[in-house]
Structure 1
C-alpha cells in the first residue's frame, strides 16, 4: 500500500468547489443531491476507498480526507495534481484533439513516463476517448477508441487548480479498500463506499479499471466490513445497483432506491438504472470513563446510608453512560436510596423518582421533589416537644427488639409531632431524618435480627442515642436540599403502573437470584412501617422481628422477573433504557439482551471494567461464579 504524504491537515475547508477531473463510469455526479442530503453534518475525517471520479469527495471538500483506489494510474493522477498541478497543466496544453496523436499517446509505455506525464496522459485519454471510458486489455494496455469529439475540454485549468487545493489536504493511497479501512477508519469518521456494482460480469467497472474482478463473495466481505464500521462508530454511505443481494446484505440499515442514468453503454436505450443508497449511522460506543469523571460537588451532600443495593459507588459509571446521550429528563423507576435520582438532579435534569417502598419515596420527596424547603430551628423545637402525648405503639409493639425504651419512646413522640409540621416537604425531611437515624442506630442498618449487642463493636453510630442521630440527620438533610431549576417529582407506587414519559428511564430493580433473597421488606420492614405508621399493614406477631408480609413483586422468581422486564421495556420503548443489573442474577445477561432487543434497535451492555457488544464475548461471563460483575444494559 502506497500513500502520498504531501498533507496539510491544518488547512481550513476551501471555499473553492472542484468538479471531478475525469469522466468516470459509475460516477456519482447525478446522485450528488441525494448523497449530500444523506451525508452527516459533522464527522472527523472522510474516507473514500473506491475513489473513482470522486464526485462526492470534491463536492464535500472535506477538511481531512483519505482517498484510495487499486487503479495505480488514478492514484498517480490525484497525487500529481496535488503536488505538481502547474506542470500537468503545461503538458495538457500541448496535447491536441487529433486521432493520430491520440493513438500515439494510447500506445505509450506508461512505465517509461514521469508521474507528471502519466497524469497528463490519463486526463487526455479520458477526455478524448469514447464516452470517457477507461478500459484495458489482458496485457494491461488501454484500448478504448478515439471519440472524434469536436471540442473536448482537455485542459480545464481552473478546475484542476481547485482540485489541487483540495487534494493537498488529502491522504492519497494506492491499496485495497479493506487495508485502508482497517488501518485508518476511526469512530466518528465518514466513509463513502462506491464498489463495483452487482450483478458481477466480465465487463464490470472494477475489471475495466483494475484488471481485477469483484465477485459476489467480495460483496459479502464488503458487507461484513460495513458491519464492523457501524459497530466501530462510523458514518457509512454505500451505493450499489438495485439487486436482491444488496437488499439482503444490508437489510439492517436504511435503504433507498433512486432512478439514475448509465453514462457508459453502447446501447443508448439501456442507459438507465436503479441505484440503491445504503445509509449506516454509527453504533453508539459506550465506555466507562477512566479515570473516574468528576461529578458535581452537590452529589457528596446526599445523606449516606448502608442501603442494600445502593448505587453510590456506581454513580460515575451511570453518568458516564447516560451523558453520551442528549437528554433533559430521567425516570428512576426503583429509586431505592435515592442517590441516583439525586445525581441526575445535580446534573440539572428533570427527575421523576418512583419506588414501591414508602420510606424510599420519602427520601426522594425530601430531596428530589423538594427544591427549597428546609427544617428551621422552630421546626426542630416543635419536633422535639416532650410534652406531646404518645400512643406508645412502638414502645409496646417493639419493646426490647431493636432499641432501648428511651429510643422507642423518642420514635413514638416523633410519630406524633411530624404530622404537626403541615408542610408536606417538611414532613418528608423530618421522616427521612428519623428513618436515617433508625438505620444508623442499627448494626448493619437492617431489621432482620433482634437486639443491639450481637454486632456492637463500639462504633460511634451504636453509641449515639436515636435523638442524637436524628438531630444530626436533620442538619444533613437540610444541607442536601437544593434547587436545580426543574419540576421534579417523587412517587410511591408500582413501577409497572408508572406513567410519566422521560428521555431516559433508569431501571434498578430487585435482583433475583436463587442463591440470595431480594426482599427489601424483610430487611427494612421497621422503617417502612414507621413511614406508613403501620396503616394497612398486618404485623406477623409470631415472628421475633415483628415483620409484616412482603409486598407482592414479580421480581421474586425467574419467570416473574423475565416477564416484568419484558413489560417495562415495552412500556418505555420510546425512551433510552439504562438498566443496572448483576452478573449473578436471573434472567441471564443474554436473556436481558434479547429482551431489550425486542424493543430497541441498539443494545449494549457495559461492565464496570469491560464493555461487551450485543452477541459478543458471551464466554467471558459466568465462568467465575464467585465473582460478581455489575452490568449496565443500554437500549436506544
Structure 2
C-alpha cells in the first residue's frame, strides 16, 4: 500500500480521529459540543483515546494525556515528525504474515516514529481495533482480515499533526495531569473507562490499566474539586446507576448510542450519559469577608455620595484573588478604594473629575509622608490682612454664619503659604471635610439650617472641625513604598497603565440625578478656588454649572463603558454599578465580554446613604461588582 497524498492536500482536510476506537465519541459530538463553553482558558483531556472531542474542538492551546505510553508516543510523533511516521506506514502491508511479524515487535525497543507507525498499523488492521495485552504486556489481538484497511492516510495524519502543534502531550495518570495542569477557567473533557467494570474493561479504552468502582468514585471527587477550582467539566460514561449516584448534583443527559465493540448486532444499542459540570463562580461572596488591614480604618469617613466604604471587604476579597502590582481607581470619589489598594501594598493611581476628590487622594494616597505639624495647623488661623473675602461676600447667609465664612476665607488663604503641594492637599482636605461636617446632610442643594438634626458635628465650631480633620488626615498618611499618583481630570482621557482598574462611575438612573457638582459645588469650589467654573449667579445656592459627563444619559453611559473597556482591555477590570441604574446588568456583561474572556458578577445587598425619607425602601438595592479578566 502506497501513500500518495501531498502536503498541499492536507491543508484542506479537517483534523479527525485516525484510529479505530472502541468507545470513541464521534457519535456524541453534536451533544458534547453543544455543552462545551464558548470561551475557556485551555483544553484538557486526560483520557485522550482516539481524540474525537479534541479534534472537533480544535483548541488553540491545551493538554492531552493518557496512561498508555504507546498511544502517547503516537500523538507526540505525529506532532513532531509526521512525515517519518507516514514513511514507515507506507512500508507495511495488509498481510497476515506481516501483521504477526509487526505485532511480535516490542514497541519500547523500536525507534519512536517506527513504533508510532506500528501502533497505527496494528490498530487499523487488527480485529475491531481492540487493544489487549497478555500478562507480559504484549499486544495479542488477532489479525482482522479486512480487505482494504486504510491504515495509511497521509492527509488525515498531517491534519492531525497541525492540530497537535500547540498542545502539550503527556503520558501519565489523569490525577497527576489534572493536579499539575488544571487552572481556573479551563475546559476539561473526561472520557474514562465506562461502567460496569467487566472482562472488556481493559480494552474498552486503549489502555493497559483497568478502572474499578473505587476509581470511578475517586474520579467523581476530582470532578468536584475541578468545579470548585472554577473549571468547566464534561464527562461521559454509561447509563449506569453508579454514574447517576456519583454525579447527582450536576446536569445529566442520557443519549442513545451504538457499541461497535460487540460482535452481536443485537447488543450494540446502548445508552451513554453526558455529565455537564458548570464551574463555581470564582468570586463568591463570603458570609464573613476577610478582615481589612487595620490601616484602612485610619481613612477619615465621609458621607460622600456613592462612597464604597461599606463595600471595601468585598472589593478586597475579589482583588486579592488576582496577582497584580498596580491599581487604578478611575473615579476615585471619596478616595477610600484607592486608599484600600495602598494598604494592600500596591502602586496606586487615582483619577477624578472633581477637584475635591483629587485633593483627598493627593493628601492620603499619593502623599507618603508629609503631614501638618501643630505649628503649621496653628498658622492656618493666623491673621492675614490679604485674606480673600470671596466666601464671605458670595455665600453670606447661605450655608454658614458670618464668623464661619470668615474662618473659611482665612484658612483657604493661609493654605497657600504651606511649603509643598502634599501639605497643601492635607490642609485643603481638612477644610473640605470640616465644611461637610458642619453642613446638615453634608450637601449644598439647599440654603439655611432647616435639616439641623442635632448632631454634635453641628455644635462644634468651624475651627474645631478643621483642627480635628487635620489630625485625622495626618493619621491616615503613611508610606507604602510605592510611587503613587493622584490626578484631577476626565476619566475618558486618563492614560495611566495599571494591572487592575477599579471603575465606579456616576450611576445613571431616569429616577434620580448623578450631579455631584450640584450637591458639592461649595466644597468643590474651595478645592478649585472657584477658578475656571461657570458660576450661575442667578441661582439661590450660587452654584456653578455641572461638568459634562457621558454618564448623564443611558446611551452616553453605554458608549462610555464600551470605550473604557476597550481602552483598558489589558487590565483586570472591577466595576461597581447599581441594580437601579442603567445600563442594565446584562448590558454591562455584554459590553465587558467584548474585551474580556471571563466576566463574573457579584450581587451585594446594599442600602444607599442618601434617601429622600428615612424609610425609603427604594434605596435598598443590589450593588453589582463586575469582574472582567
Cα distance 1:124–1:501, how it changes in 2: closer, same or farther (>3 A)? same
* Deviation (angstroms), 1:382: 2.0
Counterpart position of 1:588: 584
Question: Alignment partner of 2:542: what SS?
Answer: coil
Asked if 1:517 is matched to 2:513, the reply is yes
Question: Alignment partner of 1:130: what SS?
Answer: coil
399, 404, 422: which is aligned to 1:402? Answer: 399
Asked if 1:129 is matched to 2:141, the reply is yes
CA contact (8 A) 2:259 2:269 kept: no
Distance 2:567 2:264 in 1: 55
Cα distance 1:303–1:48, how it changes in 2: closer, same or farther (>3 A)? same
Counterpart position of 2:498: 502
Question: Alignment partner of 2:574: what SS?
Answer: strand
Counterpart position of 1:533: 529
Question: Alignment partner of 2:66: what SS?
Answer: helix
Asked if 1:56 is matched to 2:49, the reply is no
Asked if 1:489 is matched to 2:501, the reply is no
Question: Alignment partner of 1:608: what SS?
Answer: strand
CA contact (8 A) 2:389 2:406 kept: yes
> What whole-Å deviation, never above 9, does each CA across 1:561-603 have from its counterpart, x for those lacking one?
1111111111101111110000000111111111111111111
Counterpart position of 2:216: 173
Distance 2:20 2:264 in 1: 11
* Deviation (angstroms), 1:129: 3.1
Cα distance 1:209–1:635, how it changes in 2: closer, same or farther (>3 A)? farther
Gaps of 5+ in 1: 1-22, 29-45, 60-96, 98-119, 134-139, 145-158, 233-283, 611-623
Distance 2:235 2:621 in 1: 47
Distance 1:447 1:598 in 2: 40
Question: Alignment partner of 2:482: what SS?
Answer: coil
Cα distance 1:206–1:55, how it changes in 2: closer, same or farther (>3 A)? farther
Gaps of 5+ in 2: 1-18, 25-43, 52-63, 70-103, 105-131, 146-197, 238-255, 607-616
Asked if 1:631 is matched to 2:628, the reply is no
CA contact (8 A) 1:505 1:578 kept: yes
Distance 1:455 1:477 in 2: 27
Counterpart position of 1:10: none
Cα distance 1:318–1:403, how it changes in 2: closer, same or farther (>3 A)? same
Counterpart position of 2:14: none
Higher mean alpha-carbon deviation, 539-548 vs 520-529, is at 539-548
334, 341, 344: which is aligned to 1:344? Answer: 341
Asked if 1:335 is matched to 2:378, the reply is no
* Deviation (angstroms), 1:130: 2.0
CA contact (8 A) 1:207 1:213 kept: no
Question: Alignment partner of 1:585: what SS?
Answer: coil
285, 289, 313: which is aligned to 1:288? Answer: 285
* Deviation (angstroms), 1:51: 8.8
CA contact (8 A) 2:48 2:66 kept: no
* Deviation (angstroms), 1:55: 6.8
198, 207, 227: which is aligned to 1:186? Answer: 227
Distance 1:473 1:497 in 2: 32
Cα distance 1:566–1:208, how it changes in 2: closer, same or farther (>3 A)? farther
Cα distance 1:125–1:567, how it changes in 2: closer, same or farther (>3 A)? closer
Counterpart position of 1:80: none
Compute the TM-score of the two structures, normalised by the length of structure 2. 0.62
What do you get for the CA RMSD once the two structures are aligned? Answer: 4.1
529, 544, 547: which is aligned to 1:548? Answer: 544
Cα distance 1:529–1:211, how it changes in 2: closer, same or farther (>3 A)? farther
* Deviation (angstroms), 1:462: 0.4
Question: Alignment partner of 1:352: what SS?
Answer: strand
Distance 1:534 1:121 in 2: 88
Counterpart position of 2:151: none
> What whole-Å deviation, never above 9, does each CA across 1:263-299 have from its counterpart, x for those lacking one?
xxxxxxxxxxxxxxxxxxxxx6111222121000000
379, 383, 388: which is aligned to 2:380? Answer: 383
Asked if 1:599 is matched to 2:595, the reply is yes
295, 298, 312: which is aligned to 1:298? Answer: 295
Distance 1:209 1:464 in 2: 94
> What whole-Å deviation, never above 9, does each CA across 1:411-466 have from its counterpart, x for those lacking one?
111121101113000000000000000000000111111112x1223211001111
CA contact (8 A) 1:410 1:467 kept: yes
* Deviation (angstroms), 1:383: 1.4
Question: Alignment partner of 1:455: what SS?
Answer: coil
Asked if 1:368 is matched to 2:376, the reply is no
Cα distance 1:190–1:306, how it changes in 2: closer, same or farther (>3 A)? closer
Cα distance 1:605–1:190, how it changes in 2: closer, same or farther (>3 A)? closer
* Deviation (angstroms), 1:189: 8.5
Cα distance 1:441–1:190, how it changes in 2: closer, same or farther (>3 A)? closer
Distance 2:23 2:259 in 1: 16
Counterpart position of 1:243: none
Question: Alignment partner of 2:227: what SS?
Answer: coil
| Count of equivalent residues | 434
> What whole-Å deviation, never above 9, does each CA across 1:295-333 have from its counterpart, x for those lacking one?
000000001110000000000011111112111111110
Distance 1:121 1:55 in 2: 20
CA contact (8 A) 2:535 2:542 kept: yes
Asked if 1:431 is matched to 2:428, the reply is yes
CA contact (8 A) 1:388 1:416 kept: no
CA contact (8 A) 1:47 1:192 kept: no
445, 461, 469: which is aligned to 1:473? Answer: 469
Cα distance 1:398–1:189, how it changes in 2: closer, same or farther (>3 A)? closer
Cα distance 1:190–1:574, how it changes in 2: closer, same or farther (>3 A)? closer
Distance 2:398 2:533 in 1: 19
CA contact (8 A) 1:330 1:352 kept: yes
Distance 2:396 2:619 in 1: 40
Counterpart position of 2:570: 574
* Deviation (angstroms), 1:378: 2.2
Question: Alignment partner of 1:421: what SS?
Answer: coil
Distance 1:609 1:132 in 2: 67
CA contact (8 A) 1:583 1:628 kept: yes
Cα distance 1:552–1:181, how it changes in 2: closer, same or farther (>3 A)? same
390, 393, 416: which is aligned to 2:390? Answer: 393
Distance 1:597 1:127 in 2: 51
